[in-house]
Structure 1
Amino acid sequence: MNPSIIIPAKNEERGLKGLLPSLLSLYPNTEIIVVDDGSSDNTAEVCRQEGVEVISHPYSKGNGAAIKTGARAASGDVLVFMDGDGQHGPEDIARLLEKYEEGYELVVGARSGLADQASVARWGANSIYNRLASWMVNRQIPDLTSGFRAVDRRKFLSFLYLLPNGFSYPTTSTMAFFRAGFSVGFVPITTQPRVGKSHINWLRDGVRFFLIIFKIGTLYSPLKVYFPVSVLLAALGVVNYLMASLASGSFRFTNMSTLLILAGVIVFLMGLLAEQLTNLQYKDVDMEHD
């Protein structure tokens, strides 16, 4: 196995000062790439002082964009992604790689509970993500959004076109691997408090929360989300029809019952179309990247 360790970093000078020496002591002969995503501090200089390869974006493109840059530049057959803020322990990399060698194409370092989350709000949001994703794939997913993971490089490169440039790349890549039928494993980890200031914006990322909810569905099986909604709308239309008929004594459709039933049919057809488009999206995944 030939792993490459990729660290996306934006203004992570303080975190990298503690992380890189530990990482180099454990993996002195392993390719380590730090992608400097338009930092305004000395992130790049810290990497050069430690003798670590650094790739700098001329401006901030997002965490997902940094991940994609690192994946394209890496030469290893296994990519290990970890944060540069000191939350992920270098000693846990070996555990991810051990799990990977059992035959998994993607291994995620799963945070175990509230103590391992950045805040109560983040823990609550991630719990909703995990429950929804687990229902979608019919398998327990303990941590959908962890950025600490080991993955087959060729397979990961095949999904680069799906990955967003923002912070939701872990969600997208995990669901894509499930959808393509690859083996996804989880290893429990304990995280440390981050060094430095978080890049989370509550207004922006609150909107992102709802967008990710829909993305989870559309990435795996849209019809599994649309169908219950269509049945609910149609059922409400039938109930409205029965109640209006009993109240008026004449059995005829009201405008509301007609609207609800038609809305249910339209939502179902939208889900059916989305399901077909999703199938096409995964049809020609190229597995032969160098």
Structure 2
Amino acid sequence: MDMTVTCIIPAWNEAARLPRVLGAVLHHAWVDEVLVVDDGSTDQTAKVARDLGARVLTLVSNGGKSAAVAAGLGEARGRIVLLLDADLQGLSARHVTDLLMPLRTGLADATISLRANAPRPWRLIGIDYISGERAMFIDTIRPYLGEVAKLRGFGLEVFLNRLWLRQRHRIAIVPLAGVDSPSKMQKRGWLRGMVDDMRMLRDIFRTVGIATILWQIMGLRSARIR
């Protein structure tokens, strides 16, 4: 059975943090292709990715995470797609294996990470419904690339939740011990970070309403494999 994997990493001005993530996936035995989507960066993101050995897709302007991932999905060659954020800290090859294992063994149709620094409520209920680290079969999402490309910047994760639940996917929640990501305030300063957080929430709520988010959280808990 075809278990080829494309790892897609959307990146905007992540030249300083990207090497740590690439170190976990480049040359991983189960990852056949690493595709960094440079989302209109103004730093050396594309050069860093190329120099380290990743395939790079460069977008002319910054269109947001959803559009960047849609572009990457359109170029992916693998049957399985692994999505990773570019700013993760502490990610290792073992974590990548854990995210892919449930799909390779047939135990699940998709995986979602639960990072060490996920908000406390998400850790208590065992679901981070907006986690960016996920794996799925590309046939799940390929018919919807046009819709994904039109999503507001941070609408991707809740769109995937809705799609997976409608398709009755079995979902594995994968704890990533020791993995976290810097907050937007850490990366861009207090004021800019707060504005970016508000924009992220706006994108999420414009993609799905509050009632749908509650439905997604309950649905994901029910769909997760034990």
- Please say whether Structure 1 and Structure 2 have the same fold, judged by a TM-score greater than 0.5: yes
Q: What is residue 214 of structure 1 aligned with on the other side?
A: 209
**In structure 1, C-alpha distance between the alignment counterparts of 2:211 and 2:64, rounded to whole Å:** 20
Contact 2:5–2:30 under 8 Å retained in 1: no
Is the helix fraction higher in 1 or 2? 1
Q: What is residue 180 of structure 2 aligned with on the other side?
A: 192
Contact 1:36–1:44 under 8 Å retained in 2: yes
Q: What is residue 164 of structure 2 aligned with on the other side?
A: 177
Tell me which of 112, 126, 131 is aligned to 1:108. Answer: 112
Q: Could you list the per-position Cα deviations for residues 213-258 of structure 1 after superposition, in whole angstroms to 9, with x for gaps in the alignment? A: 606629979xxxxxxxxxxxxxxxxxxxxxxxxxxxxxxxxxxxxx
Offset at residue 212 of structure 1 (A): 5.4
Matches within 5 A, 1:114-129: 116-117=117-118, 123=119, 127=122
- In structure 2, relative to structure 1, the CA distance for the partners of 1:86 and 1:219 (3 Å cut) is closer
- In structure 2, relative to structure 1, the CA distance for the partners of 1:157 and 1:202 (3 Å cut) is same
Find out whether 1:86 has 2:97 as its counterpart.
no
Contact 2:35–2:55 under 8 Å retained in 1: yes
**In structure 2, C-alpha distance between the alignment counterparts of 1:197 and 1:38, rounded to whole Å:** 18
Q: In terms of Rg, which structure is larger? A: 1
Find out whether 1:43 has 2:45 as its counterpart.
yes
**In structure 2, C-alpha distance between the alignment counterparts of 1:209 and 1:172, rounded to whole Å:** 9
Offset at residue 25 of structure 1 (A): 4.2
**In structure 1, C-alpha distance between the alignment counterparts of 2:214 and 2:88, rounded to whole Å:** 31
Contact 1:144–1:170 under 8 Å retained in 2: yes
Find out whether 1:204 has 2:199 as its counterpart.
yes
**In structure 2, C-alpha distance between the alignment counterparts of 1:161 and 1:29, rounded to whole Å:** 26
Q: Give 5+ residue unaligned stretches, structure 1.
A: 118-122, 132-139, 222-290
Percent sequence identity is: 26
Q: Which amino acid aligns with 1:177?
A: W
Q: TM-score, normalised by structure 1?
A: 0.61
Contact 2:6–2:76 under 8 Å retained in 1: yes
Q: What is residue 98 of structure 1 aligned with on the other side?
A: 101
Deviates more, 1:196-205 or 1:13-22: 196-205
Contact 1:97–1:150 under 8 Å retained in 2: yes
Q: Which amino acid aligns with 1:98?
A: M
- In structure 2, relative to structure 1, the CA distance for the partners of 1:202 and 1:95 (3 Å cut) is closer
Find out whether 1:149 has 2:144 as its counterpart.
no
Number of residue pairs the alignment of both structures matches: 202
**In structure 1, C-alpha distance between the alignment counterparts of 2:31 and 2:164, rounded to whole Å:** 29
Q: Give 5+ residue unaligned stretches, structure 2.
A: 217-226
Q: TM-score, normalised by structure 2?
A: 0.76
Q: Which amino acid aligns with 2:39?
A: D
When the two chains are superposed, the root-mean-square deviation of aligned CA atoms in Å is: 3.0
